[in-house]
Amino acid sequence: MAGVSFGNDSTYNYVILKYDSNGNILWEKRYGGPVFYYAFPKISVDRNGNVYLAGSDIKNQSDFVTIKYSPLPALKGDLNLDGVLTMADVVLMLNLVFNGELPPAAPTAADLNCNGSLSAADVVTLLYMLYASASPPC
């Protein structure tokens, strides 16, 4: 069964690991540093593979933090994480670029021209990838 676990290391960093159904580590994320003392009593994974952690400051119980980690697709531009590029990905890209609606995949997966911002150029690049079977430019 796939899952997520977390713990902390000697520098008060929290280490979050995501596993596949065979127990292989898919990714590792670190959060914090000596300045953070958060206890993360809640961890959850939604149907899209997003991982959520929520907790409170150990010293000051009125401080809370919630962290969301979104998956990156194996196929660049696959914003719905179904493994293929389709018009559904284009619709998600349009909604992200023009309406700010977040797709199931991490928003960074939509930066197809790798210029650090999302624009209509990314939509055009995705259409080119979809209809001309082109590779992403970066």
Q: Kindly state whether residues 8 and 58 are assigned to the same domain.
A: yes
Q: Kindly state whether residues 58 and 83 are assigned to the same domain.
A: no
22-32 pLDDT, tens digit per residue, is 887 777 777 76
Count Cα neighbours of 13 within 13 Å in the Cβ-side half-sphere.
11
Q: Kindly state whether residues 79 and 63 are assigned to the same domain.
A: no
pLDDT band at residue 19 under the 50/70/90 scheme: confident
Q: Kindly state whether residues 77 and 138 are assigned to the same domain.
A: yes
Q: Kindly state whether residues 65 and 81 are assigned to the same domain.
A: no
Who has greater pLDDT, 2 or 117?
Answer: 117
Q: Kindly state whether residues 65 and 79 are assigned to the same domain.
A: no
The predicted pLDDT at position 38 comes to 60
Residue 8 confidence (pLDDT) above 50: yes
The predicted pLDDT at position 33 comes to 52
Q: Kindly state whether residues 64 and 78 are assigned to the same domain.
A: no
What's the domain count of the chain? Answer: 2
Q: Kindly state whether residues 80 and 134 are assigned to the same domain.
A: yes
Q: Kindly state whether residues 56 and 89 are assigned to the same domain.
A: no
34-83 pLDDT, tens digit per residue, is 445 566 667 888 877 778 877 776 666 667 777 888 777 888 899 988 88
Residue 5 confidence (pLDDT) above 50: yes
Phi, psi of 99 (to 5 degrees): -115, -10
Residue 57 structure tokens:
């400051």
CATH code of the domain containing 121: 1.10.1330.10
Residue 128 confidence (pLDDT) above 60: yes
Pick from 16, 35, 69: which residue ends a domain? Answer: 69
Q: Which residue has the tokens 């493994």?
A: 83
Pick from 69, 94, 121: which residue ends a domain? Answer: 69
The predicted pLDDT at position 91 comes to 96
92-118 pLDDT, tens digit per residue, is 999 999 999 989 888 888 999 888 899
Query: For strand 25-32 and strand 64-69, is the pairing parallel, antiparallel, or unpaired?
Result: unpaired
Domain that holds residue 118: 73-138
Pick from 48, 69, 90: which residue ends a domain? Answer: 69
